[in-house]
Every structure is written in structure tokens, then in C-alpha cells.
Structure 1
Amino acid sequence: MIRVLLVEDDKDLRATLRDALALEGYEVSTAASLSEGLALWTHARPPPDVVLLDLGLPDGDGETMLANLRKRDAVPVLVISARQADGQKIRLLDAGADDYLVKPFSIGELLARLRVALRHRGTALKPALTHYEADGLVVDLAAHRVTLKGEAVHLTPTEFKLLARLVRSAGQVVTHRQLLADVWGEEFTEHTHYLRLYMGQLRAKLEADPADPRRLLTEPGVGYQLADSAA
């Protein structure tokens, strides 16, 4: 899974981009400030495969982070900014940015430019898993639709986001921390009771016997997985 570090201080845009990238199968870490972005980059193991970087951050300019990254790494960096001056675009591209997107931009354009940047660095991309079908359960992430034995299943937005994250890694264990970060945000990675609550709700809707789950499986002390559709 391709790891993306998104550094963006606008809460709504950050959430929108995180959800869109996650739907495409990217593993996304988010930061709301320059210092947080640098800290995540420094301590991430393995490091991110690509960085989406805003410029106008509350504790400094994203250009500082770009300079820091370029001293140590050739990771692709896509600048996302409302600043439109040609001079700044040219300076940042010359300083090592792989691309520069002016806000507002479409999600489709961002995804396409992200693929190009990764491809230029030799990173192979696998198609995102957006459809799951096994034992009467069908999950279509693109259509935002879940059916069980032909009947529509109503999920809350949070339940759907949790199921979608598991679908994208079907057959693999996703850790508690990763699920909490991807579904609720980085600031909720210690709130494991959220997972227990929502996993219980999903099992009540999708399992024949929620007390003996066959689809939504627990890896004790580690995380959860959705049974592989090929199983």
C-alpha cells in the first residue's frame, strides 16, 4: 500500500482529501502544521512514499518542509496551495517539488498528478480494491452501497468508513492504530473503545451470529480483518 503524508491545515479539506485518497487505496497520515508534518516524516517507519504539502501553515511555510525533505530524500512532493503567482510556482518546482496544484482543484486531477509523480519515481501502483463480494455480502465502495443476500444494508457514515477501510485490505489484518487513524483521524489512535463499539455494530448488521463472526475477524491484541473474498 502506498503511504501518503498529507500536510494541510484546513480541517475540512484535510478530511476530504484523506477520505478520497483512502478510497483509492492509499494509506494516509495527516498533519495540520509544519512541525507536525516534519515530526511525522522524521519518525515514520517506513517513511511516506509521497508528500502532499500545503504552503500556508499556522507555524511556518511549507517551503521550509520541502527544503528539509530535499536535503535528505527524493520522495515525490506535490505542493497544494491557493497561491497562484508564477514566480512562486517556478521557484518551488526548481527547489524540488514534483508538481504544483492551485486550489481549488478536482480530486480527479490530484489523483492523476499523484499517479504521474509516483510513476516517474518508479513506484508501481496497483488498482484500488473498491468492490468486495463473498458469501452474499456485496460492498461497492464507488457506489457507496452494501447489500447482504440481495437486501440493502443501511450503515452510518462511520460504519461505512470502517467497513471500507477493511475492504481495501480484505484478507489482511489492519491494526487498531491504523483503523483509528484512517477512520477517525490521527488524534484518535488511542481510542480503541471506538473500534469495539463500531465493530460490534457492523457485526450486528453483517454477521449471521455476531458472537461468532465469520466475516469481520479479530486478531487479538493487533486489529481486525475482513475475510478474504476468495476464501
Structure 2
Amino acid sequence: MSIEMKYLYLKSHPLFADLPEEKLAEIAGQARVKTARRGEHLDYGDGAFTRIYLLINGKIKLTDIDEGDNEIVKDILTAPDIFGDLSLGQVHSTDDEYAQVLTGNTIVCYFLAGDFRRLLEANPAIAINYANRVNAKLRKLEIRHSDLVFRDAKSRLIRFIKSWAKADGSTIGDKIVLNNYLTHSDIASVIATSRQSVNMLLNELRDAGLLLYNRKHIELHNPLSWN
């Protein structure tokens, strides 16, 4: 792929949006770009060759495998975002985590973790931006753990849908529309309940007139209730 296209992809990501053109063009020479199909897994690499990914377009599901070989959904990402070896080679913590593409034509830029670490060392402004984004992810994880302790399944589902709508919803008239790229099992794993419970709770919200859903879309009625 041309340096020009890599430049445009990086420029579209908030991590690099304010970087001078000359510096961004230099960084673009180090980046690799991949267009992934739905269902594809993205390799984090291993050893000294782990990777850091920038999500430019599309949706990603981060998944872990527990001791019983069950899939645990850790997060759902929408562009723009970052994922992969966020420790940049300092902590070997991604052995069981993998990223699965949820939508077609998902575009990622990626760097070897060591190269990206040196890039941050040479560019303090980017390093601060990166640190802020990693901290935001940690804060999101803290909130999720707090929800597991203090909120019931219905409250967790509503909170998840609100977050999903804020990140990826489109306001059309008097409703918010979400493209439904998640299964009930995915949602259940994120909010730590069963698929059957998710189905029951969605039916309750539908019967209350708050939403409609099918395999392709979720429509949230009365947007003020979902803000």
C-alpha cells in the first residue's frame, strides 16, 4: 500500500490527528495496513514481535479463553480505537486474548510493539495521547467490574446499550438505530449473564416500548431515555 494511503489512515485516527505532516509521513513508512473480512482473527504476534493495532474503520471483538475453554468477550471496539499489546512488549499478558473482526472491510493499521514504543519515546505528545487512551480503557474496565458487583443484569444490559448507542448509534427521527453485529451470546458475555437472560431482558424492554430489535438492527425509542 502507498505511503499516501497509510498517511491518510493514520491522519484519520485521533492518536495522530494533530501531528505535523512531515512527522506523520515518516511514521506512515513504518505502519502496516490490513483490510480484514468479517470473522477473521487478527494475530497479536508473540515474543519480541507483538503488535499494537489502530482500528481505522469497522468493529472488533476482543475475546479471552477461560480455564474451561469458554469464550469470554472482554470488549467490543468501534473505530477509532487501539488494541493489541498495549504494554508494548513490557508485559506478556495477551497470550489468551484474540481479536475477531465483526464487520466487513474493517481496516487496521499496525506496528510492531517495539517500533511503536520507540516512536512514543521520540514523540512525547503522542506518548501522552496514547497514555490517556490506555487509562480510559482501564477506567472502562473498572466501571465494568463495579457494575458486576453493584448492578443487576437488567441494569448492566441497559448501561451496555446506552454505551453502544453513544459510540455507534445513528439518530433517525425520534429513534436511535444500531447496526446489530452482536449476537445475544456476545452481549451476555460482556455483561456476565446468560444468553437466555439477555433474550428475556430484551423482550421486556421491547414490551415496555423502549426498543425493537432483529438480526440486523436495534431501534431505541425515546432517545432521551437512552442518553
Normalised TM-score (structure 1): 0.33
Normalised TM-score (structure 2): 0.34
Q: Which has the higher contact order (CA 8 A, sep 6+)?
A: 2
